[in-house]
Structure 1
Amino acid sequence: MELLYVLDQWIIFALKIAALPVGGYALLHAVRQRADAFTAAGKLTKNAWLGITGVGLFLLIITPGPMYGGAMFWLAAMVAVLVYIVDVKPAVVEVQGGGPRW
């Protein structure tokens, strides 16, 4: 039973470490895009997404992780960052010409 607890802790730690670059990528991508592309794609404004991804990255950095009392904030931050990556980013890239943009 102790082995499963340790394994669980390592998996959670790996998720937390993997979430930080994902949040950073989302914020950097939002910074690099044109402001008019967000509204043209039918999404929130660039400033709104900068705030969402910035706060998301901040929460991913400061919360201790999903198993240490910060689960609600960590999960909300991860969902916000992933929504940007899977929904907003492709729409903004398509509006700006559809080419690969990081």
Structure 2
Amino acid sequence: MVIRIQVLLYLLFYLAIFALCVWALIDLLRRPPAAFTSAGKRTKGFWGAVVGVSTAVAFMAIPAPIGLNFLPFLGLLAAVGAIVYLVDVRPAVAPYTRRRGPRGPSSPGGW
């Protein structure tokens, strides 16, 4: 019984890492390339490579019924790439990203 709970928690942990990497990749793809250089961060291509490799490695680290169970400790390193993007780069490039949608006096932050 305890072993099943441990295996389930292990699976959920690596699925959460994979979901985090996918979120970072989707967010990165939505940002314009000029936002990265304007924010003083590396290029979008560089961060695309970091987050893309992190996402692929995170998928490979998921246990065997879903992923490939390829060197599971690399899943933790994959999480580092996604976390650095989400915590450091994403907030820096956010002001340089053009927002779509209505901007009127009634909207919060509208000018």
What is the TM-score normalised by the length of structure 2? 0.72
Q: Deviations over 1:42-82 (max 9, x none)?
A: 211100000001000000111245xx672431111011011
2:79 alignment counterpart: 78
Q: How does 1:52-71 map to 2 (within 5 A)?
A: 52-64=50-62, 70-71=71-72
Q: Which shows bigger deviation, 42-51 or 15-24?
A: 15-24
Aligned residues: 95
Runs of 5+ consecutive residues of structure 2 not aligned to the other structure:
64-68, 100-111
Conserved? CA contact 1:53–1:81, under 8 Å: yes
Q: Distance in 1 between matches of 2:17 and 2:45?
A: 22
Long gaps (5+) in structure 1:
none
Quote the offset at 1:89 in angstroms.
0.6
In the alignment, what sits opposite 1:7? Answer: 5
Structure 1 ranges of 4+ moved more than 4 A: none
C-alpha contact 2:58 2:75 (8 A) present in aligned 1: yes
Q: Give the TM-score, by structure 1 length.
A: 0.78
**Structure 1 residue aligned with 2:23:** 25
Greater helix fraction, Structure 1 or Structure 2: 1
